[in-house]
DNA sequence: TTGTACGCGTTATCAA
DNA sequence: TTGATAACGCGTACAA
């Protein structure tokens, strides 16, 4: 009985070896370090590989080689264009280096994220990409114990020492808020994603407060409405803002999608942007320029972040001991949704 | 020397077994079929698992169990919201059943797709999700040989017998084109993605031709400009359309993103939609309603498709021999970008 | 209910 | 340059 017959018809190394009249070791070498095999032998082996349609068994390979060439990422959701973009670039760069991407999404749920991390590590991920710093300490402990190199993206706090590629959410939002204040707005409100386990959102809100302080006003006065991600939720949140703080003249949203939702609500309520009310977003995804009027927002280099994340993680896996922290620059994009405060 | 010391400090089944004073078999059973283990023993074992931070070694598990619990998908790009959405739903449903998603994107490149498929299969994917029917026959042959259950999504042709979940691109577009023609448009043009290895795009274009035929006109007269995916490319394509066929009064795009690009070009050229020119899209993603004016388009249930795809693939993996073909309904969404033909 | 022992398909070490 | 063979960590018949 040939091996082939046993293994469901899927050819194994042994089958190839038999077919080419060499040992399994030689076949393995042909595939992994061809230069260490004689020209003639190699040709014969490769022919056998093709003829049998051989592909290595992943489990066996992973077990013996102690690595999977697989990198995992846990993101909040692929439906958010910022993550889709970043991940696309991340994957492309990984692919160039022979690595495969394993993805899971947490739906912005901390507990689910923990499950996903464990699942992906169990699936043999050689490295891991996570979004933002916020998570339970035991996740970090688990990753340390399992020795899974982990890179944090989308956040950057100078005082954090974990390997990171991201931008300073707080500083970026402060800068944007300054511009809003410079337009004479005294009553600013904020629509935010839930900040409980999302340092990106929290930092952005705090960034607004920083600017308010710097302008000599009381940051505690900032009206903040938290709501899950989505256009519709942004719409509802805006109505809530205007109920709680009808004197508001500028609404700063922590992302473009919420801002577009708010924009809709503004229209439905019969007001004009920016004449009656100014609006800002964050991320600078396509809908920011498509919106009517186009959104003032913070441009974030998502693709570059994805690409850099891949490079850095690869470097860490290679054992490079350089400082693995990279801060990317953001840029304020002033567009028509921001105007002077009405009298 | 304990096993633990050998294995880089990462705990193995044997470590847990020793820690809990049972055999490795018992630990394995605790994890995979807890009901076959005594209450007390199980508690002790699970405690050891937690204390040691044990996670099963993927390679070993895959090798022994002969399956990876991993499903792979190759999509054109995650940056296209339709795939991001579908894949998100696909992943959520898989997660509910303990499966992990492996993704790769082909950047709409047939050759790259082939590489990705081979890579993912080599990574031990238990099943595969592909977009559309079009691909080289040897890919299908390879998948058959490797016995990897494969499901096609985003397309549905009644005559194809491969497991499929999708919609009839051609019929949907025909229906939309009928509505355009009903508005009096005699000179229709089309902006399409490259049709060479993309049956979805090709079918949509052919759908327009069908409607033209049915209206008693010559389908060969349809002006078609092909261009890669993107807003900017849509813009350029529109200019080309108006150069080649200035008499055009309606431009049908094979997706919303191209349509939004065209919409921009229309504006820049000083024309009005829909007064001077009508425009349609396909997919009904968010930008379709955000555009000014909102786009007439074909609504596609992307999330449902993703969810169904997961269910069907899971069913196939389980060995269910039912007919694995599901046609989803699309729906025309008439919005303001479509108006009567100008005189 | 629990334990023993073998097999899974590779890689890597060592010798030839 | 090539071959024999021992890991690799887990699942699972089979035995107890």
Of B59, B101, B142, which has the smallest distance from its Cβ to A68's Cβ? B59
As a whole-number percent, the residues of chain B with pLDDT over 90 amount to: 63
Say yes or no: B17 and B71 in one domain. Answer: no
Beta carbons of B59 and A59 less than 8 Å apart: yes
Say yes or no: B86 and B20 in one domain. Answer: no
Say yes or no: B158 and B207 in one domain. Answer: no
Residue in B with minimal Cα distance to A11: B146
Taking residues A98-116, what's their average pLDDT?
A: 86
HSE toward the beta carbon, residue B108, CA cutoff 13 A:
15
- Is residue A34 over pLDDT 90? no
Say yes or no: B193 and B291 in one domain. Answer: yes
Beta carbons of A87 and B107 less than 8 Å apart: no
Say yes or no: A206 and A95 in one domain. Answer: no
Is residue A66 packed enough to be buried (19+ CB in 10 Å), middle (13-18) or exposed (0-12)? Answer: middle
Mutate which: A84, A101, A116, A136, vs B, most B CBs within 10 A: A84
Q: What is the reported pLDDT for B7?
A: 61
Mean pLDDT score of chain A: 91
CA distance A309 to chain B (A): 17
Higher pLDDT, B146 or A61: A61
- Is residue A5 over pLDDT 50? no
Whichever domain contains B37, its CATH number is 1.10.260
Q: Which of residues 124-153 of A touch strand C (CB under 7 A)?
A: none
Question: Are the C-beta atoms of residues B132 and B198 closer than 8 Å to each other?
Answer: yes
Structure tokens at B10: 């990462």
What value, to the nearest 5°, has the Cα angle with vertex A235 and ends A234 and A238? 85
Q: What is the reported pLDDT for A120?
A: 84
In a domain, B58, yes or no: no
Of B63, B81, B231, which has the smallest distance from its Cβ to A59's Cβ? B63
Whichever domain contains B176, its CATH number is 3.40.50.2300
Residue in B with minimal Cα distance to A50: B142
Least confident of A254-258, A291-295, B32-36: B32-36
Say yes or no: A163 and A70 in one domain. Answer: yes
Question: What are the tens digits of pLDDT across the range B179-188?
Answer: 999 999 999 9
Query: Does A334 touch chain B if contact means CB atoms closer than 8 Å?
Result: no
Taking residues B14-32, what's their average pLDDT?
A: 89
Of A321, A310, A241, A330, nearest to A278 by C-alpha is A241
- Is residue A38 over pLDDT 80? yes
Cα-to-chain-centroid distance, residue A53: 37
Say yes or no: A48 and A102 in one domain. Answer: no
In a domain, B177, yes or no: yes
CA distance A232 to chain B (A): 11
Of A81, A91, A290, which has the smallest distance from its Cβ to B104's Cβ? A91
Chain D, protein-covered positions (CB within 7 A): 1-5, 7-13
Query: Does B262 touch chain A if contact means CB atoms closer than 8 Å?
Result: no
CA to C1' distance (Å), from A53 to C12: 25
In a domain, A138, yes or no: yes
Judged by DSSP in three states, B154 sits in: coil
Question: What are the tens digits of pLDDT across the range B297-322?
Answer: 999 999 999 999 999 999 998 887 77
CA to C1' distance (Å), from A13 to C8: 13
Q: What is the reported pLDDT for B184?
A: 96
CA distance A72 to A124: 9
Residues in contact with B220: Cβ distance below 8 Å, sequence separation at least 6, in sequence order: none
Say yes or no: A14 and A79 in one domain. Answer: no
Confidence of residue A8 (pLDDT cuts 50, 70, 90): low
DSSP letters of B41-94?
Answer: HHHHHHHHHHHHT----HHHHHHHHS---EEEEEES-TTSHHHHHHHHHHHHHH
In a domain, B219, yes or no: yes
Confidence of residue B8 (pLDDT cuts 50, 70, 90): low
Q: What is the reported pLDDT for B1?
A: 35
Taking residues A8-28, what's their average pLDDT?
A: 86
Taking residues A246-270, what's their average pLDDT?
A: 96
> Hey, what's the torsion of the CAs at B318, B322, B325, B329, to 10 degrees?
-100
Residues of B in contact with A52 (CB under 8 A): none
Question: Are the C-beta atoms of residues A188 and A180 closer than 8 Å to each other?
Answer: yes
- Is residue B259 over pLDDT 50? yes
**Residue B41 Cβ under 7 A from any strand C atom:** yes
In a domain, A337, yes or no: no
Q: What is the reported pLDDT for B2?
A: 41
> Residue B217 phi/psi, 5° resolution?
-105, 175
How far lies A319's CA from each of A68, A314, A322, A329, in Å?
16, 9, 9, 27
Footprint on protein of nucleic strand D, Cβ below 7 A = A 21-26, 29, 36-38, 40-42, 60, 63-64, 66; B 3, 6-7, 10, 12-14, 24-25, 28-29, 31-32, 54, 56-57, 59-61, 63-65
- Is residue A297 over pLDDT 90? yes
- Is residue B3 over pLDDT 60? no
In a domain, B342, yes or no: no
Pick out the nucleotide with least CA–C1' distance to B65: D11
Identify the top-confidence range among B52-56, B96-100, B105-109, B334-338.
Answer: B334-338
- Is residue B295 over pLDDT 80? yes
Q: What is the reported pLDDT for A131?
A: 97
CA distance B46 to B272: 68
Residues of A in contact with B77 (CB under 8 A): 88
- Report which residue is nearest nucleotide D7 when distances run from CA to C1': A64
Which range marks the domain in which residue B254 is found?
169-300
Least confident of A186-200, B75-89, B232-246: B75-89
Taking residues B15-34, what's their average pLDDT?
A: 89
CA distance A319 to A312: 11
Q: What is the reported pLDDT for B6?
A: 53
Helix axes A137-145, A110-122, angle to 10 degrees: 10
Higher pLDDT, A39 or B242: B242
Of B107, B122, B260, which has the smallest distance from its Cβ to A55's Cβ? B122
Q: How many CB atoms lie within 10 A of CB A304?
A: 15
**Per DSSP, what are the bridge partners of residue B74?**
B104, B130
Confidence of residue A7 (pLDDT cuts 50, 70, 90): low
Number of domains present in the structure of chain B: 3
Question: Are the C-beta atoms of residues B110 and B135 closer than 8 Å to each other?
Answer: yes
Q: Please identify among residues 111-130 of chain B the ones whose CB lies closer than 8 Å to any CB of chain A.
A: 116, 118-124
**Residue A4 Cβ under 7 A from any strand C atom:** no
Question: What are the tens digits of pLDDT across the range A141-190?
Answer: 888 877 889 999 999 998 998 999 999 999 999 999 999 999 999 999 99
**Residue B48 Cβ under 7 A from any strand C atom:** no
Judged by DSSP in three states, B333 sits in: strand
Pick out the nucleotide with least CA–C1' distance to B32: D11
Say yes or no: A107 and A252 in one domain. Answer: no
CA distance A301 to chain B (A): 14
In a domain, B159, yes or no: yes
Mutate which: A32, A124, A266, vs B, most B CBs within 10 A: A124
Query: Does B84 touch chain A if contact means CB atoms closer than 8 Å?
Result: yes
Confidence of residue B101 (pLDDT cuts 50, 70, 90): confident
Cα-to-chain-centroid distance, residue A41: 46
Residues of A in contact with B258 (CB under 8 A): none
Structure tokens at B333: 């969404």
In a domain, B162, yes or no: yes
Taking residues A28-34, what's their average pLDDT?
A: 87
Say yes or no: A145 and A223 in one domain. Answer: no
Say yes or no: A38 and A70 in one domain. Answer: no
Say yes or no: A126 and A246 in one domain. Answer: no
- Is residue A207 over pLDDT 80? yes
């Amino acid at each position: 009985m040939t091996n082939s017959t046993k293994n469901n018809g899927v050819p194994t190394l042994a089958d190839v070896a038999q077919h080419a009249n060499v040992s399994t070791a030689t076949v393995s070498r042909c595939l992994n370090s061809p230069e260490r095999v004689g020209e003639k032998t190699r040709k014969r082996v490769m022919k056998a590989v093709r003829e049998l349609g051989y592909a290595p068994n992943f489990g066996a390979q992973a077990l013996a080689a102690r690595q999977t060439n697989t990198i995992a990422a846990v993101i909040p959701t692929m439906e958010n264009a910022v993550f889709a973009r970043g991940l696309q670039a991340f994957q492309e760069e990984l692919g160039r280096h022979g690595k495969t991407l394993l993805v899971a999404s947490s739906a912005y749920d901390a507990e689910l994220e923990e499950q996903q991390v464990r699942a992906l590590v169990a699936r043999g991920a050689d490295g891991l990409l996570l979004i933002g710093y916020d998570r339970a300490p035991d996740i970090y402990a688990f990753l340390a114990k399992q020795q899974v190199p982990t890179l944090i993206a989308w956040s950057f706090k100078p005082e954090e020492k974990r390997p990171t590629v991201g931008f300073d959410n707080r500083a970026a939002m402060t800068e944007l808020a300054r511009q809003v204040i410079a337009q004479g707005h005294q009553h600013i409100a904020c629509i935010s994603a839930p900040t409980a386990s999302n340092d990106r959102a929290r930092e952005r809100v705090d960034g607004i407060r920083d600017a308010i302080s710097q302008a000599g006003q009381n940051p505690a006065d900032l009206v903040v409405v938290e709501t899950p991600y989505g256009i519709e939720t942004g719409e509802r949140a805006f109505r809530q803002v205007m109920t709680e703080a009808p004197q508001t003249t500028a609404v700063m949203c922590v992302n473009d999608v919420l801002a577009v939702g708010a924009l809709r609500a503004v229209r439905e309520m019969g007001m004009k942007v920016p004449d009656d009310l100014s609006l800002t977003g964050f991320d600078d995804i396509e809908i920011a320029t498509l919106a009517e009027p186009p959104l003032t927002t913070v441009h974030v280099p998502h693709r570059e972040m994805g690409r850099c994340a891949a490079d850095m993680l690869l470097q860490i896996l290679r054992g490079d001991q350089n400082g693995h922290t990279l801060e990317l620059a953001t840029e304020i994009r002033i567009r028509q949704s921001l105007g002077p405060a009405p009298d």
